[in-house]
Amino acid sequence: GAGVSQSPSNKVTEKGKDVELRCDPISGHTALYWYRQSLGQGLEFLIYFQGNSAPDKSGLPSDRFSAERTGGSVSTLTIQRTQQEDSAVYLCASSRGTGAKTQYFGPGTRLLVL
């Protein structure tokens, strides 16, 4: 079956603009994760969704970052008033649920803030 897909693949934006990144998880996976990978910080957890439970937002770096997951499937990560330090690869992953340990990653969105 299809894997996790993310769009866009690449995004270049100007400082101060808002961006939306999209993630389509594997069908039937109830858990969805966002991670960020940047040169200085490595791979960092951002936010986690599990079914209809309240998301775990503990990894979001600032209130400019938000995410939602509609209908328990597609998720969008929104970054408002982007800053240059937001430049990174944003990776989405999904898994069958909290009991399933293996996370399946999408190809990522490479964000460059000029």
Partner 1 sequence: SQQGEEDPQALSIQEGENATMNCSYKTSINNLQWYRQNSGRGLVHLILIRSNEREKHSGRLRVTLDTSKKSSSLLITASRAADTASYFCATDMIKAAGNKLTFGGGTRVLVKP
Report the interface residues with partner 1, using CB under 8 A. Answer: 4, 31, 33, 35, 37, 42-45, 48, 50, 56, 59, 89, 91, 93, 95, 98, 100-108, 110
* Nearest CB to partner 1, comparing residues 12 and 81: 12
* Nearest CB to partner 1, comparing residues 20 and 44: 44
Strand order in the sheet with 65-69: 5-7, 19-24, 75-79, 65-69
* Nearest CB to partner 1, comparing residues 80 and 107: 107
Gap between the Cα atoms of 90 and 38, Å rounded: 9
Whether 4 contacts 26, CB under 8 Å: yes
